[in-house]
Structures are given as structure tokens and as C-alpha cells.
Structure 1
Amino acid sequence: MSGHHLAQLNVGTLRHPLDDPRTHGFTSMLDTLNSVADRSPGFVWRLVGDGGNDATAIRTSLGADVIVNMSVWESRESLWDYVYRSGHLDVLRRRAEWFELPKTAFQVMWWVPAGHVPTVEEAVERLELLRAHGPSPSAFGFRDRYTAAEADLAVLAPAATTKAQPTD
């Protein structure tokens, strides 16, 4: 899959402001988690804010109390290893301490051409696609196993099925 990388976005609605002492358990671990991600095999890129090492100040159309985390990985396996085998899982298990329980999908993945840096807007569109239509090659979660080739076909399919319009 050298021609594609896996992009991911996950979002969380904070229970308390980032500077609230009740959120300190989360904010105090960000630099360490980001450093581990940066050094993880298969890591390509992650979103950071202006002047910071994380993206906690970036806001989207999802709401003022929603923080985002976005990154790109060489493969699903490299992202899986980071999330579930690097110490990140300990933080994930404590998510309910700092974030509201999600009522809809809070994480989405999609394939991007190698070298493409996704925008936050692109990522939010993918999350909204997943929320509206469920998993597909264009927007999916860890339980889904869509390949980059399937994502390419999904992009090409609408054009291939469009009927030519008669010309005068």
C-alpha cells in the first residue's frame, strides 16, 4: 500500500474546559502520547495547532467544546499498534473521565494518497459521511477492513455509472 496512507480523525466533547483541574489527567498526558505517536513505526503525520504540540485549540463545525485529533499512518496495522499497544490504550480506557459518552461515531478512517495531508474540513466531512450512511470504503472505523483499492473504486464508481448526456 505504498501509494496510500490511512488518515484518521477522532473527536471528543469535553466534560470540562481544558484548563479545568478535572481535565488535567488528560492534558498532562498529551505531550507524552504525541511523542510516542511521532516515534511509532508507520507514523506519517499528525495535526498540531499554531504554536502547540497538540490540536486541542483547533475548533470545527462540530462544536466549541469538541476537540479533534487527526493523524496519518502508513497502514491500519501501524495505527492499531499505536492505539492498542503503546500505552495509548490506558488513556482510551479513561476517556469517560474527560469526555462525554459519544452518541454517534466519534472516530473515522479513510485512505488518502501518500503525501496528501488531509484538512480538518475534509476529516469532518468523512466523519459526517460515516454518521449519515454507516461504514463504506470512503469512511469507516477500526472494525471495518476496507482497502485503499476499494476506496479508489468507490471514488471512480460514480463517474463510471454516470450516463452520457445527449448532445445537440
Structure 2
Amino acid sequence: MDSTNGQTAHEPGHQLAQVNISRLRFPLGSPELKDFMDGLDPVNAVADAADGFVWRLQADSGNATDVAVFGDSWLIVNMSVWRNADALTTFMYAGRHRELMARRREWFATVEESMTALWWVPAGNRPSVADAEKRLLHLREHGPTDRAFTLRTRFPAPAAAAGAAVQAATD
């Protein structure tokens, strides 16, 4: 396995990008967010070592809590790239990440609009926050499409989708 992008030579040429934004209930330095902030480094270390992990957005602090998203200082962003949706969900619903997210309602406001989006990027591509904002806005406006989707409504990677179309045309 190539440690720089988490792929082996036989894997497809696309990887799964994800963005998740959350609206804080308290300022980042507040005592109410201490447990959340203390949990970030351990959770990020687990992500960095997870099978299928490729990349995550981080600032000099090692996390992305001080990265601006949508020009709103009450929003924090988490962006990462994974080999595929299975690798992402395996990480999300296990161990330290699951434990930390079990407490999310203590730290983050409930929001009606979509705050998470997934999309395929060419292997080696590192999406920007501006890319993520566009994908999230697209999902909010159009619902899940091959441009921006959710874990519940997934779309195949472009090469896989093209292969399925060719197979259907030859059947």
C-alpha cells in the first residue's frame, strides 16, 4: 500500500471526500467545550492510523477548529478523504470517534439543513474548504446527486459508474 494516498495499485482512481460542519453552542475556548477539544487529538490519531484513511484538513494546531467555513465563526469544519465509504463508516461508528460523537448534542446546535456532504475526488486530490462549501450548498439545493451525496444515498465513483453504464449497455 502506498502510505501517501492509502491506495494499492488495483484500486480505482477516485477517493471519497467528506465534509462535516457543526454549529458550536459555546465559544471554542469555553469550559463547556473542554472535553470536546481534549478529545480531538486522540480521535485524529485514530483516524490517521485507520485503514482507508487518506488525508484530513488541519491547521498548524493539528486540527481544523480554527479553519473558517462559510465566514461564520460559530461553525467548525471537519474534512477528510478516504479510500471509500466503507472505510469512512468503519472509522465513524467505532471506538474513540463514536464515543466523542455520542456527546455531540452537548457541544453542537441542532441544525435543520444538511451539514455533511460526500463526493468523489481523483486519487491524490485534496479538496479545499471552498470546494466543500460548494458541495454542501449543492446538496442543500438539489438533494443527493453524483456531485454531492450522503452516506444514506450514495453514488458510485465516476469510473465505477461509467463501468456500470457500459455493462448495462452491453446486457
Do the two structures share a fold, i.e. TM-score over 0.5?
yes
Which runs of structure 2 are paired with 1:146-157 in the superposition (5 Å)?
146-149=155-158
Which runs of structure 2 are paired with 1:1-168 in the superposition (5 Å)?
1-49=11-59, 51-61=60-70, 63-149=72-158
Unaligned residue ranges in structure 1 (runs of 5+): 154-168
Runs of 4+ with >2 A deviation: 149-153
Alignment correspondent of 2:166: none
- 8 Å contact kept, 2:13–2:159: no
Distance 2:14 2:146 in 1: 13
RMSD: 1.5
Deviates more, 1:111-120 or 1:53-62: 53-62
Identical residues among aligned pairs (%)? 41
Distance 2:136 2:160 in 1: 15
* CA-CA distance at 1:93 after TM superposition: 1.8
| TM-score (norm. length: structure 1) | 0.86
Distance 2:159 2:141 in 1: 20
- 8 Å contact kept, 1:6–1:110: yes
Give the letter aligned to residue 54 of structure 1. Answer: N
Give the letter aligned to residue 24 of structure 1. Answer: K
Q: Deviations over 1:25-67 (max 9, x none)?
A: 1101000010000000000000001x21100001122511100
Distance 2:42 2:126 in 1: 23
Give the letter aligned to residue 110 of structure 2. Answer: L
Distance 1:104 1:62 in 2: 17
Count the aligned residue pairs.
152
Alignment correspondent of 1:164: none
Distance 1:2 1:139 in 2: 19
Give the letter aligned to residue 59 of structure 1. Answer: A
| TM-score (norm. length: structure 2) | 0.84
- Give the match's secondary structure for 2:91: helix
